[in-house]
Structure 1
């Protein structure tokens, strides 16, 4: 029992699904890099915040402080993750409300929820 409303909803769903898939593809291609001030630690992080690569220069062995090394690695990985999150946010910004901020937005769900809310609000008018 397809009515014109159902057909138009399906068309909008298809368009939205295509947009989401295109954005997902862009996010999976993200690679951000951060390097420690002394250049001994480099982290590369993907669009989902996952550590893709960690490079350690042999100079890290000059100071045998494993706790400081762990702290420095963690800081560099977090810096790369922040850059990835910002890049992901920039890609998804068209699906977010104008007042959205990278640090408070759930980039996995909020863009889709906002778009659905927008679609529903448009129907109620």
Structure 2
């Protein structure tokens, strides 16, 4: 059996054909699962919120599913020793930790459908890694 690709003819034996069919079947099954379960998982992912306290306990932040700041609470004790730079750093670091936890939770939610590394790359906006993973999958490497 042979197939044309870009003007070139490649030999495709029965083992290759069976492998391609198996891969196509796997993609179809994955697509069906995403279609069936995706909307529910998406709704759950959108609802994810994480609340985190600063190491000194004076700052509490809540971030949403995209890592956006939803709520910020600052304990009035911060006024006892005013340090604007220290407070700003504490807020920033606490938001980053909460956002990282949100990504972990969303990755866990989608784990039945999307490999963790692939989901993490999507969440981090790492287009290079996402494209590399897709190319490897399309080439049959996994």
- Using structure 1 for the length normalisation, give the TM-score: 0.68
Distance 1:105 1:13, change over 3 A: closer
1:106 aligns with 2:122: yes
Q: Point out the structure with max Rg over C-alpha.
A: 2
Could you list the per-position Cα deviations for residues 28-78 of structure 1 after superposition, in whole angstroms to 9, with x for gaps in the alignment? 111111101221100111121111111111011112111111001101111
Distance 1:108 1:37, change over 3 A: closer
Could you list the per-position Cα deviations for residues 67-96 of structure 1 after superposition, in whole angstroms to 9, with x for gaps in the alignment? 111001101111111111110110011222
Q: 1:47 aligns with which of 39, 62, 65?
A: 65
Asked if 2 retains the 8 angstrom alpha-carbon contact of 1:27 and 1:48, the reply is no
Structure 2, unaligned runs of 5 or more: 1-29
Q: Which protein has greater RCO, CA pairs closer than 8 Å, 6+ apart?
A: 1
SS state of the match for residue 72, structure 1?
helix
Alignment-derived partner of residue 89 in structure 1: 107
The CA deviation at 1:14 is 6.6
